[in-house]
Amino acid sequence: MDYLIALFLGFVEGLTEYIPVSSTGHLLLLSHFLGFDSPSNTFAVLIQLGAVLALLSLYFNKLWNVVVTLPSSPESRGFAYSILIAFFPAVVIGVLAHDFIKTVLFESPRIICISLIVGGIILWLVDKYAPTPTQGDAMKLDIKTSLAIGLFQCLAMIPGMSRSGSTLIGAMLFKVEKKAAAEFSFFLAMPTMMAAFSYDVYKTYDQMDFNDMGLVAVGFIAAFVTALLVVKAVLNFVARNGYGVFALWRIAVGGIGLILLSLGF
C-alpha cells in the first residue's frame, strides 16, 4: 500500500509542481489525510528533485546555449542577470525564515488550506484584470520586472501559496504576457528549487529517514515522468485559456481540505 501511495504522491508532485496550485501544499495535505508519514518530510523533499530534473532536461539545449554564449551575447547575459536577480530575494528570506517555515507553517494543514483559497482568489483576479502585457519574451525581461517577480516568489514560503502561482501573479501584474510569465517561472524554478532542496537537506539531514529509499525512488520516477509530460502541455493550455481553471482548482482543494479538517480527519 505504501508503494501505491508513493506512486500517487509522485504523480501529484509532477502534475502540480509547474502549475500554480502548490505542489507542496498538495503533498502535505495528501500525506496528512492518507496517513503517509515521512520524518522531516524526507519523501516530499527528495521527490521534488525529480520534477526539477525533468524541467532541466526539457530546457537543457536552450540553457546550454545561454551558457556557451555568455561571453559574446548581451542577450544571454541579460537573461542570466534577470534570473539571478529574481532568485536573490528567495535566498535571503529562505535562509532567514527556514526554521519557522518548516516547524510552524509546514505543520499546519489549516494554514495550507487557507493559503490555497486566498492564493486562488488572487490568481483569478489577476488573471482576469491584469494590465495589458508589454513584455512577451521570457528571456528578455527587464531588471525591474525580474526583481518584482523574485519578491513575489517569496510569498511561496507559505505552504499552499505556490511558487509558480506567486511568480505568475507578479509577472502578470508587471505586464508580462501569460505564456512568457509561465516560461520565466519555469526558468526561475530551476535555481530556486535546487537551492531549496540543497539547503533543506543541509539543515535537516540528521533528522531524515533514508530507510525507505524504495518509496522515494518510486515517487521520484513518477514525479520526473509526469513533469516531463506536463510542462509543455501547461504552456499550450495557458496560451489558450489563461489561469482561471487553476484558481478554481486551488479554491476547491482548499475548501474540501477545510471541510475534512473540521470533520476531524
Is the confidence at residue 81, as pLDDT, over 90? yes
Is the confidence at residue 39, as pLDDT, over 60? no
Model confidence at 77, in pLDDT bands (50, 70, 90)? very high
Query: And the C-alpha cell for 246?
Result: 487553476
Is the confidence at residue 187, as pLDDT, over 60? yes
Q: What is the mean pLDDT of residues 49-63?
A: 90
Between the alpha carbon of residue 194 and those of residues 10, 94, 190, the distances in Å are 18, 13, 6
Residue whose C-alpha cell is 516547524: 103
- C-beta separation of 113 from 215 below 8 A: no
Which of residues 257 and 102 earns the better pLDDT score? 257
Q: Is 182 exposed, middle or buried (0-12, 13-18, 19+ CB in 10 A)?
A: buried
- C-beta separation of 223 from 26 below 8 A: no
Q: Please give the DSSP secondary-structure letter assigned to residue 18.
A: T
Sketch the domain layout of the chain as residue ranges: 2-262
> Quick one: pLDDT at residue 44?
73
Q: pTM for this one?
A: 0.85
Where b means 16+ CB within 10 Å and e means fewer, 54-93 reads bbeeebeeebeebeeeeeeeeebebbbebbebbbebbbeb
